[in-house]
Amino acid sequence: MPTYPFYQVDAFANQPFEGNQACVMPMEAFLPDDILLKIAAENNVAETAYLVPQADGVWALRWFTPAVEVPLCGHATLASAHVLFDAGGYDADILHFDTVQSGRLSVRRLDDGRLEMDFPSAPIRPVPVTDEIVAALGARPLEAWGGMFYAARFDSPDAVKQLSPDLKALKALGAEGGGWDRGNFGCFALGGDGVEVTSRFFAPGSGIDEDPATGSWHTMLSRILGTHFDLPEAACWQAYPGRGARVDVRLEGDRVKLVGRAVTVIEGQFRL
């Protein structure tokens, strides 16, 4: 019976039960896609990350939700780097991931123990706030942008925290031409408790009703903040009910740095 190392990590978390759960599975070669998807469905967390070594300091990386393979995932990348630094014995200060759709991603270990990810930040554009979207969100945003996702700005952190969208309706909506242009909505407001921005991320289009901590969403959010609100650097709080996640962002040209911590909560073997 084949076995594979298995780690479950709370990413963008300072302690267990915060941030977002990711499973990380190092292997010598990628298994067939249908098996990778079945494993992710069995794990039943937001993302499972698969790592295959390529060269010294370089790994191939793929991410699967329980429903689909995704082109970019921040929290599972953070979790993967955490596993390599913490349990994998990797002792350099920077490592690299080669991905299918997002190119090379780098993660640096900072002096204070936090991990800094270097990600692409795709272009954004203003988009209409339609009556369908207002009905699905259950509230009217002040303005919205399209890009990798649909991003909607509200007037206060409380308005974001109080959202209770119709997820079935939301799944069919979005901004045309995005990376995930249907059923993936980031909702945010300026301000919050000790942070510059408070947000939530709803992703029924990716098989996740609401994601607890979303690095890919923060790459888009960082571009909005830097371009439209003179906030090239910001502390952000993703206000998932009952958990919550701190993500620090810094926009640098067409790249963004995402900074956070991670904690391993389960370690073992996955048996096939």
The full DSSP string for 165-200 is --HHHHTT---TTSTT-SS-EEEEEE--SSSSEEEE
CA–CA separation, 261 and 54 (whole Å): 25
CA–CA separation, 125 and 144 (whole Å): 9
47 is catalytic: yes
Identified catalytic residue from 47, 69, 196, 210: 47
Measured in degrees and rounded to the nearest 5, phi and psi for residue 193 equal -80, 95
The residues near 132 (Cβ < 8 Å, ≥ 6 apart) are 169, 173
Which residues of the chain form beta strands (DSSP E)? 3-11, 20-26, 47-55, 58-64, 69-70, 94-99, 103-109, 115-120, 125-126, 143-146, 150-153, 185-190, 197-203, 208-211, 233-238, 245-252, 255-260, 262-271
Which residues are the active-site residues?
47
